[in-house]
């Protein structure tokens, strides 16, 4: 893959903070190397305090890496060229609440040297995109959290960026708000933009992302296509629900199963291999029992998350946001 296909590249990125009176060192991001490719939705996952926000802030030029390098569109992070091509929505954003929706977006437009009719057109377009046309003349202090999030996304898009970086865009929103943000991210991808977002809500990432990176205690623990990562973690578990199973047959199946639950006439068993499933089916047929349901257990990102968390390297000494 050519270098130009990479939108974001980080190489052994590290950030160490000094905290407390004695300046104790705390590693927030540790040797992080990853790439985000053009046109994909990239999920940056990890539990709270894993170093997601710190990494994104380094990419935005808000904090400086202790060591390592990173580039956006081949430009060094923090440079005007890099910043010119991206849009950023911080985590639980606070904005100038004395401004109206329109003034707010105009202000950010000015920072990209957008003025006059062109800016006015862009502001109207964006308010329409995020469904906030009605709030153009309303002060931000009267906005709900969902409205703030939407107008925040609008400010990130003011320069029609090629890369949109969203820090926890779904946190604190109700289910409707979350769906709206999800739809917006998909629309951005359709229009050819690259989206990178951080989240600790894995379900959202599973629905949206082409690829994800998982970070724990500052270290990258997994990175790749969602389907590949999940496949690596499958146990091929199959759940069977059976009716009218005779005691002898039940005994045979129980010996194969990893879990058996009896509910009156009904039995639920969990089997862990295809061979066991075949044997169990044979028993069911010969005993003339009734198979009610057969459900393969799909591994989810959550399983992977928990598995990685259990095997994660020793904890850094304190949590750094």
Burial class (CB in 10 A: 0-12, 13-18, 19+), 28: buried
- 211 touches other proteins by CB under 8 A: no
Instruction: Report angle CA 164, 168, 171 to the nearest 5 degrees.
Output: 135
Give the shortest CB-18-to-other proteins separation in angstroms: 10
- 88 touches other proteins by CB under 8 A: yes
Report the SS3 class of residue 291. strand
DSSP characters for 98-144? TSBHHHHHHHHHHTTT--HHHHHHHHHHHHHHTT-GGGTTSBGGG--
Q: Which stretch binds other proteins (CB under 8 A): 101-109, 173-181, 232-240, 307-315?
A: 101-109
CA atoms within 13 A on the CB side of 59: 36
- 172 touches other proteins by CB under 8 A: no
What angle do helix axes 116-129 and 145-156 make, rounded to 10 degrees? Answer: 130
Residue with tokens 């959550």: 302
Question: In the complex with other proteins, which residue's Cβ is closer, 99 or 312?
Answer: 99
CB contact set of 239 (below 8 Å; sequence gap of 6+): 268, 269, 270, 271, 293, 294, 295, 296, 297
Among 42, 108, 197, 305, binds other proteins (CB under 8 A): 108
- 138 touches other proteins by CB under 8 A: no
Question: In the complex with other proteins, which residue's Cβ is closer, 16 or 254?
Answer: 16
Give the shortest CB-210-to-other proteins separation in angstroms: 24
Question: In the complex with other proteins, which residue's Cβ is closer, 67 or 258?
Answer: 67
- 174 touches other proteins by CB under 8 A: no
Give the shortest CB-58-to-other proteins separation in angstroms: 9
Q: Do 43 and 231 touch, CB atoms closer than 8 A? A: no
Residues 5-64, interacting with other proteins (CB under 8 A): 17, 54, 57, 60-64
Spatial separation of the C-alpha atoms in residues 320 and 315, rounded to whole Å:
12
Spatial separation of the C-alpha atoms in residues 268 and 246, rounded to whole Å:
14
Residues 61-80, interacting with other proteins (CB under 8 A): 61-64, 80
Q: Do 43 and 211 touch, CB atoms closer than 8 A? A: yes
Question: In the complex with other proteins, which residue's Cβ is closer, 47 or 84?
Answer: 84
**Other C-beta atoms lying within 10 Å of the C-beta of residue 258:** 12
Among 9, 155, 198, 252, binds other proteins (CB under 8 A): 155
Among 39, 47, 93, 172, binds other proteins (CB under 8 A): 93
Tell me which H or E stretch contains 283: helix 274-286
Give the shortest CB-173-to-other proteins separation in angstroms: 18
- 84 touches other proteins by CB under 8 A: yes
- 110 touches other proteins by CB under 8 A: yes
- 111 touches other proteins by CB under 8 A: yes
Binding residues for other proteins (CB under 8 A): 17, 54, 57, 60-64, 80, 83-84, 86, 88-90, 93-96, 98-99, 103, 107-108, 110-113, 152, 155-156, 159, 320-321
């Amino acid at each position: 893959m050519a270098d130009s296909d990479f939108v974001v590249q980080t190489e052994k990125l590290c950030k160490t903070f000094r905290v407390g009176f004695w300046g104790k060192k705390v590693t927030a991001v540790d040797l992080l190397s990853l790439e985000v490719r053009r046109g994909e939705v990239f999920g940056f996952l990890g539990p709270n305090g894993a170093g997601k926000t710190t990494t994104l802030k380094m990419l935005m030029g808000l904090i400086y890496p202790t060591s390592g390098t990173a580039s956006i569109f081949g430009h060094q992070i923090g440079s005007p060229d890099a910043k010119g091509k991206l849009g950023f929505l911080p985590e639980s954003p606070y904005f100038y609440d004395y401004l109206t929706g329109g003034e707010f977006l105009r202000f950010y437009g000015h920072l990209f040297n957008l003025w006059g009719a062109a800016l006015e057109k862009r502001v109207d377009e964006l308010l329409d995109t995020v469904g906030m046309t009605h709030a153009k003349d309303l002060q931000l202090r009267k906005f709900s959290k969902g409205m703030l999030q939407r107008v925040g996304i609008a400010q990130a898009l003011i320069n029609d960026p090629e890369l949109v970086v969203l820090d926890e865009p779904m946190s604190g929103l109700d289910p409707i708000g979350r769906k709206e943000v999800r739809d917006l991210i998909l629309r951005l991808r359709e229009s050819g933009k690259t989206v990178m977002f951080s989240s600790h809500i894995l379900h959202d990432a599973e629905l949206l992302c082409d690829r994800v990176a998982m970070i724990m205690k500052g270290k990258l623990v997994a990175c790749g296509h969602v389907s590949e990562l999940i496949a690596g973690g499958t146990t091929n578990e199959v759940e069977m629900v059976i009716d009218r199973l005779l005691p002898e047959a039940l005994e045979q199946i129980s010996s194969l199963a990893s879990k058996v639950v009896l509910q009156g006439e009904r039995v639920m068993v969990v089997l862990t291999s295809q061979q066991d499933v075949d044997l169990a089916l044979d028993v069911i047929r010969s005993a003339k029992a009734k198979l009610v349901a057969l459900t393969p257990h799909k591994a989810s990102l959550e399983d992977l998350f928990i598995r990685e968390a259990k095997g994660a390297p020793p904890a850094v000494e304190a949590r750094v946001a």
